[in-house]
Copies of this chain bind each other. A is one copy, B any other.
């Protein structure tokens, strides 16, 4: 029986302690763009003794090791996204929900024509309401 989360952590030089595995099992597979606080709530369901500081440290470690990306999208709190490929983000202003928008769904023209601004990466941040 293999445990893919543990394999992933090892592949990135992260010792798979119980706390790190519990955080990884949730945050490496979610699409809800959680803040550290949300990760804490979710992970406590599986590991009630974990502390918020350990969640922060684990998230920062995952970012450093290239498993997660941290995003400044919501005011006042950093959110985390396990999707590493370039993509855009849509923010529902009413609910705060953040949705990934595939890279190819939009096209941005003239990124290389901005004079002395040498662009290494970019994303479009969209806001509005999700109909459903």
**Residues of A at under 8 Å CB distance from B?**
70, 72-76, 78, 90, 93, 99, 101, 105-111, 113-114, 116-132
Contacts and interface: CB of A to CB of B under 8 A. Distances in A.
A90 B119 contact: yes
Given A76-B78, A117-B90, A118-B130, A110 B107 contact: yes
A107 B106 contact: no
A71 to B, nearest CB: 8
Contacts of A106: 108-111
Contacts of A109: 106-109
B124 A123 contact: yes
A122 B125 contact: yes
